[in-house]
Amino acid sequence: MLVNMNDVLLPAKEGKYAVGFFNAVNVEMARAIIETAEELRAPVMVGTAEVLLPAMPLERVAEYLIPMAKKASVPVCVHYDHGLTFEKCMEALDLGFTSVMYDCSTETYEANVEKVAEMVGICHAKGVTVEGELGHVGDNEGAGKLENPEDYFTNPDTAADFVNRTGIDSLAVAVGNAHGDYKFPPKLDFDRIETIAGRTGLPLVLHGGSGLSDSDFRTAVQRGICKVNIFTDIDKAGKAGIEEGLAAGASSMMGLIPYEIEAMKKVVRNKMELFGSVGRIPMQTE
């Protein structure tokens, strides 16, 4: 069933577990994510991000994700992540996405507040939820790498003001996490997570989830993280599945698809178990 972010994150906050958000830039990824959620009776969030649109345009993503979410036997929120421009967020809204992240975290604080509050007003009028980011989650490599990440950590006092002034539904925090592959083991500020959760009262979001340890995930969820973003891990798993299929003698794309999907499903299954979202949706009865 197609739902918005509050439908899955508010129960997660109450139940002290987290919901996985997995980017799906093709149908195989979408199948791996949604089929696993159904098998495990887990709520899930699925979608894409603006940086991933060169791989699959937003309109094409909507064409397969929205119908798949509607047909699913578990709650599926279709989320547009890290929307960097107002125009693309509006496109996602028009295409039927039920949740958007408007990432203005590199703007000044007042510009971030003003732009996100405007987005919230537009989206809430349509029953669409909004995620904001305060502080800045950088990259492990490339142009977005931060020299001193702690300078960009989310300030708990500012977070409370940001939430009150914007009306967002969830808050992405910078607490030592980063996008992409971690070159060194990250050190998350769990006390900061707990403090922000207490002062804002909102479900918190951890970006850059791929590569964190099992212990990191469990502790972050215990302290207030309700949504964890995963892409790199399933992306790499899909590639590994194709390589396994080739080694096993698969000689066509059709022959490789089952290997690709199964490899990604293993990652999704593992994350859902770690986040504690397995079994949260009762089995359907006739």
Q: In the chain, how many domains are there?
A: 1
Give the chain's mean pLDDT.
91
The domain that contains 173 carries what CATH number? 3.20.20.70
pLDDT in tens, 257-278: 999 999 999 999 999 999 999 9
Residue 173's DSSP bridge partners are 134, 206
pLDDT of residue 91: 98
* CA–CA dist 161, 200 (Å, integer): 8
Which domain range does residue 11 map to? 2-275
* CA–CA dist 138, 51 (Å, integer): 13
Output DSSP code: residue 172: E
C-alpha dist (Å) from residue 171 to 73, 142, 164, 246:
27, 24, 12, 42
pLDDT in tens, 51-76: 999 999 999 999 999 999 999 999 99
Domain presence at residue 285: no
Domain presence at residue 283: no
Domain presence at residue 156: yes
Distance in angstroms between the alpha carbons of the first and the last residue of the chain: 16
Tokens linked to 133:
């980011």
Domain presence at residue 154: yes
Residues of the chain short of pLDDT 50, as ranges, are 139-146, 148, 179-184
pLDDT in tens, 136-149: 665 434 444 445 45
Domain presence at residue 280: no
C-alpha dist (Å) from residue 250 to 45, 204, 236, 243:
32, 43, 19, 10
Q: Is the overall model pTM greater than 0.85, yes or no?
A: yes
Domain presence at residue 11: yes
Is 191 known to be catalytic? no
Domain presence at residue 128: yes
pLDDT of residue 156: 93
Residue 81's DSSP bridge partners are 49
From the list 81, 103, 233, 235, the catalytic residue is 81
pLDDT of residue 152: 75
Contacts of 143 (CB under 8 A, 6+ apart): none
Q: At what angle do helices 214-223 and 253-275 cross, to 10 degrees?
A: 50
Contacts of 249 (CB under 8 A, 6+ apart): none
DSSP letters, 90-132, are HHHHHHT-SEEEE--TTS-HHHHHHHHHHHHHHHHTTT-EEEE
